[in-house]
Amino acid sequence: DTAVSQTPKYLVTQMGNDKSIKCEQNLGHDTMYWYKQDSKKFLKIMFSYNNKELIINETVPNRFSPKSPDKAHLNLHINSLELGDSAVYFCASSQPLQDYTGNTIYFGEGSWLTVV
């Protein structure tokens, strides 16, 4: 069973559209994340969410919004897609990171978004 799963794995869409990527984790983790990997393969965090608090990387446009129906799911909604949004988006999860006993962050398989 996949620990962190994302759908769809591939998505091709036109500029201006709105799309969502779903993420589910079955690890019982309390904290989930979205990371973006650009065309140069550079990975950067977009959001972290622990069922109580959403922390947003201030460089993320407000066209991107995470939605969490429950602690096992964190979906990513993107409005008015732009060419520059083309990237691989990774969902991830971990236990809450407290002191220095926090767990490792586990990644999903990625969702490859292409905006044309």
Partner 1 sequence: AQTVTQSQPEMSVQEAETVTLSCTYDTSESNYYLFWYKQPPSRQMILVIRQEAYKQQNATENRFSVNFQKAAKSFSLKISDSQLGDTAMYFCAFMNPLALNYGGSQGNLIFGKGTKLSVKP
Contact 67, 7 (CB under 8 A): no
Contact 6, 26 (CB under 8 A): no
Q: Is 100 in the site for partner 1 (CB under 8 A)?
A: yes
Nearest to 79 by CA among 93, 63, 96: 63
The CA–CA distances, whole Å, from 28 to 4, 5, 72, 107 equal 10, 13, 7, 14
**Cβ distance to partner 1 smaller for residue 18 or 38:** 38
Q: Is 27 in the site for partner 1 (CB under 8 A)?
A: no
Q: What is the closest distance, in whole angstroms, from the C-beta atom of residue 49 to partner 1 in the complex?
A: 9
Binding mask 34-73 for partner 1 (x = CB under 8 A): -x-x--xxxxxx-xx-x----xxxx---------------
**Cβ distance to partner 1 smaller for residue 18 or 101:** 101
Candidate segments 11-19, 65-73, 77-85, 107-115, binder of partner 1 by CB under 8 A: 107-115
Strands (E), 3-116: 4-7, 10-13, 19-25, 31-37, 43-49, 54-56, 64-67, 75-78, 87-94, 106-107, 111-115
Residues in touch with partner 1 (CB under 8 A): 31, 33, 35, 37, 40-45, 47-48, 50, 55-58, 88, 90, 92, 94, 97-100, 102, 104-110, 112
